[in-house]
């Protein structure tokens, strides 16, 4: 039994490796581009309504790296609107003032006492968070160890995600001398509580705002403590996708949370997600031989102190490696690579690109699909009329693109019409097989058109042959002059072709010609279908069935007459109680049969039958026993 076990383990290992390979292919799908940033700033730059709004705006904007427009006015607003008796209001004021430059305030002793008193095991985690944040923002001394123990004690009672996130933020205000490892472990627990949506997004069920606050808090605490957060690379990308997928910021708190998450992910000591953005569509051609890329962080800030390298360029169709290990050159804001130098054939290529420069980079290896376009040229275009009997030599005319063939060609039932041509890449001279090579015949008078496909033979020469008598159903046997067009198209062609090659006169035998060509109108109502209801069974007339009912009941009459004749009587009927009960019970059972027929179902009947049957059985048993005794006496 060792072989199946080890084989299972091998398969499991292979499956895990495959999963890992797929997982490593995870790329960021969302980021804050310039428009998103503008929208975010617009929300954060609204005029303040209260201290809380001021806090969200000021701290949010500072996370994005933007200073508030009028710092003095903001400072004055906060000072006038702060409520010294509320810990929460003091927290908002303190944190906002810490960001503004030159904004100082003196704190009275009462306020300080209020804040210190709030840091205890009796306050909720939110209150402890606000108090510690306020004390730290005002620069007041704080007993970190006591605060830490109060926080830990409180956290063990409150299990909600938001409370844990606030605990992380609180710990980032405490001194590094204190042992914050128990709080740091909460990061790992919170990561486990995230929901994985399709392998692309990772977010809390409480929503994106909570997820963004978590990211900001986790990185702030990790930076403060100096240990890498327990979030894997793929998880960072998934978190990023979830947070930046929200493009509409209705409330200020939402905008604040996303701004803080963006700030955290673009500037922390451990994980820096980067995004590689091609300039326009990732396509190169002879006119545009350079592939241009930009490298940005989550806030679309350009990173130019990095090195971008092409690891491998593989053709999608032939899977051959065209280029390897080539660095991109920096030109202004863009990283460029001249791909046309290797003279690639037209088509799609998979580029594996890696970005280096900082150990913190995440998602720095991407796969990019690049299209190489070219122009097509048509050569060796030959139109010929071939006689079916091969008696007359075929008449061939050469036409040059884009001219039209002079004169018209006639084809009737004795002749075939043939067209052959070659398609080449104008720049490289190689033969091309585009996706669309159609020959279209358009009847000038009736407006009919028939489209055929021209197919290449083994030497990549396209041939099209039209046997008019064979194909007459497609033409509806309408004789006349048809314009011949050649249509060439492909995704990798820069110059799709629609070329009027020649005029062809096709004649069909007269007997097949339809009177007029009707255009099929497909969109008229169809004939209505009448539903056929199930016909009831044929029944005999009521007279017949009534007669037979009477007839079937007549033997009963005969029976009674016979019984009377034989002399059957009930003179021996004894009025003993068991006899009466038996007969009543039996009659009840018969009545139950009738009720069963009209009303009940089997289960109910069985229930009643069991009861009645039991009674009847007992009484009958007694009665028959007495009869037996009387008989043997």
Partner 1 sequence: MRNSSYRSQPRRCAPARCGRAARRMRSAVAAAVMAGSVWAVARRFLSEYGGGTAGRLKALDAFLLYVLLTGALQFGYCLGVGTFPFNSFLSGFISAVGSFILGVCLRIQINPQNKGEFQGISPERAFADFLFANTILHLVVINFVG
Chain residues binding partner 1 by CB under 8 A are 537-540, 544-545, 548, 551-552, 555-556, 558-559, 562-563, 566-568, 586, 589, 593, 596-597, 602, 605, 609, 613, 620-621, 624-625, 627-628, 631
Task: Give the separation between CA 404 and CA 539, rounded to whole angstroms.
Answer: 81
**CB 616, min distance to partner 1, A:** 8
**CB 576, min distance to partner 1, A:** 15
- 3-state secondary structure labels for all residues of 608-620: HHHHHHHHHHHHH
Helix (H) or strand (E) holding 503: strand 497-506
Task: Give the separation between CA 61 and CA 263, rounded to whole angstroms.
Answer: 9
Q: In Å, what is the CA distance from 519 to each residue of 447, 474, 522?
A: 10, 13, 9
**CB 615, min distance to partner 1, A:** 13
Nearer to partner 1, 324 or 547 (CB): 547
Token pair, residue 30, equals 């969302």
Nearer to partner 1, 457 or 537 (CB): 537
**CB 565, min distance to partner 1, A:** 8
> Residue 508, Cβ neighbours under 10 Å: how many?
19
Token pair, residue 316, equals 């999608």
Task: Give the separation between CA 336 and CA 10, rounded to whole angstroms.
Answer: 43
Nearer to partner 1, 16 or 548 (CB): 548
Q: In Å, what is the CA distance from 163 to each residue of 259, 396, 412?
A: 20, 86, 87
> Is the distance from CB of 240 to CB of 246 less than 8 angstroms?
no
Nearer to partner 1, 392 or 559 (CB): 559
- CB proximity list for 122: less than 8 A, separation 6 or greater: none
Token pair, residue 606, equals 């069985």
**CB 11, min distance to partner 1, A:** 58
**CB 631, min distance to partner 1, A:** 8
Nearer to partner 1, 226 or 567 (CB): 567
Nearer to partner 1, 530 or 572 (CB): 572
Radius of gyration of the chain (CA): 46
Nearer to partner 1, 10 or 544 (CB): 544
The DSSP annotation for 387-420 comes to ETTS-SPPEEEEE-TTS--SSEEEE-TTEEEEEE
In the chain, the N- to C-terminal Cα span, in Å, equals 82
Task: Give the separation between CA 437 and CA 433, rounded to whole angstroms.
Answer: 9
**CB 624, min distance to partner 1, A:** 4
**CB 609, min distance to partner 1, A:** 7
**CB 529, min distance to partner 1, A:** 29
Task: Give the separation between CA 278 and CA 230, rounded to whole angstroms.
Answer: 32
**CB 195, min distance to partner 1, A:** 56
Nearer to partner 1, 117 or 568 (CB): 568
Nearer to partner 1, 325 or 572 (CB): 572
> Residue 449, Cβ neighbours under 10 Å: how many?
12
Q: With the C-alpha atoms ordered 618, 620, 621, 626, is the resulting torsion angle positive or negative? A: positive
Nearer to partner 1, 34 or 551 (CB): 551
Least Cα distance to 224 among 157, 286, 158, 269 occurs for: 269
């Amino acid at each position: 039994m060792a072989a199946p076990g080890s084989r299972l383990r091998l398969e499991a290992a292979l499956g895990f490796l495959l999963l890992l390979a797929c997982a490593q292919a995870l790329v960021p799908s969302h980021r804050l581009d310039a428009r998103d940033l503008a929208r975010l700033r617009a929300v954060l730059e609204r005029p303040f309504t209260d201290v809380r709004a001021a806090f969200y705006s000021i701290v949010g904007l500072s996370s994005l790296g933007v200073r508030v427009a009028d710092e003095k006015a903001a400072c004055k607003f906060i000072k006038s609107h702060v409520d010294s008796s509320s810990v929460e209001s003091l927290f908002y004021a303190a944190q906002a003032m810490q960001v503004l430059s030159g904004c100082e305030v003196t704190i009275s002793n009462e306020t300080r006492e209020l804040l210190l008193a709030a840091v205890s095991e009796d306050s909720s985690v939110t209150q402890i968070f606000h108090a510690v944040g306020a004390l730290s923002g005002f620069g007041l001394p704080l007993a970190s160890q006591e605060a830490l123990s109060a926080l830990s004690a409180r956290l063990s009672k409150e299990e909600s995600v938001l409370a844990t996130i606030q605990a992380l933020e609180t710990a980032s205000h405490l001194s590094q001398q204190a042992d914050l490892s128990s709080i740091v472990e909460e990061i790992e627990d919170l990561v486990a509580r995230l929901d994985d949506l399709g392998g692309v997004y990772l977010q809390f069920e409480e929503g994106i705002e909570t997820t963004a606050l978590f990211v900001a808090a986790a990185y702030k605490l990790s930076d403060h403590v100096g240990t890498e957060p327990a979030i894997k690379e793929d998880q960072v990308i998934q978190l990023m996708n979830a947070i930046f997928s929200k493009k509409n910021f209705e409330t200020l708190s939402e905008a604040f949370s996303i701004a803080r998450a963006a700030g955290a992910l673009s500037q922390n000591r451990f994980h820096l997600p980067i995004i590689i953005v091609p300039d326009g569509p990732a396509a190169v051609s002879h006119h545009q031989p350079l592939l241009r890329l930009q490298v940005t962080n989550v806030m679309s800030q350009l990173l130019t102190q990095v090195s971008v390298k092409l690891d491998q360029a593989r053709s999608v169709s032939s899977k051959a490696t065209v280029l390897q290990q080539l660095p991109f050159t920096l030109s202004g804001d863009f990283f460029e690579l001249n791909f046309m130098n290797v003279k690639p054939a037209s088509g799609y290529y998979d580029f594996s690109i890696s970005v280096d420069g900082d150990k913190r980079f995440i998602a720095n290896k991407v796969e990019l699909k690049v299209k190489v376009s070219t122009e097509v040229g048509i050569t060796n275009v030959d139109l010929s009329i071939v006689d079916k009997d091969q008696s007359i030599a075929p008449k061939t005319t050469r036409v040059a693109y884009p001219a039209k063939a002079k004169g018209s060609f006639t084809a009737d039932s004795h002749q075939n019409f043939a067209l052959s041509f070659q398609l080449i890449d104008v720049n490289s001279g190689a033969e091309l097989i585009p996706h669309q090579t159609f020959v279209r015949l358009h009847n000038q008078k009736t407006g009919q058109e028939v489209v055929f496909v021209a197919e290449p033979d083994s030497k990549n020469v396209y041939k099209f042959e039209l046997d008019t008598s064979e194909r007459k159903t497609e033409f509806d046997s309408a004789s006349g002059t048809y314009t011949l067009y050649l249509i060439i198209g492909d995704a990798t062609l820069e110059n799709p072709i629609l070329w009027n090659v020649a005029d062809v006169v096709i004649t069909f035998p007269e007997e097949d010609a339809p009177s007029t060509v009707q255009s099929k109108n497909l969109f008229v109502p169809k004939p209505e279908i009448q539903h056929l209801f199930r016909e009831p069974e044929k029944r005999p007339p009521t007279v017949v069935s009534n007669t037979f009912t009477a007839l079937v009941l007549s033997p009963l009459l005969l029976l009674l007459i016979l019984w009377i004749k034989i002399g059957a009587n009930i003179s021996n009927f004894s009025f003993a109680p068991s006899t009466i009960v038996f007969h009543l019970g039996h009659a009840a059972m018969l009545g139950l049969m009738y009720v069963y027929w009209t009303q009940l179902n089997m289960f109910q009947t069985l229930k009643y039958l069991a009861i009645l049957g039991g009674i009847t059985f007992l009484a009958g048993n007694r009665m028959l026993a007495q009869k037996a005794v009387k008989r043997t006496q």
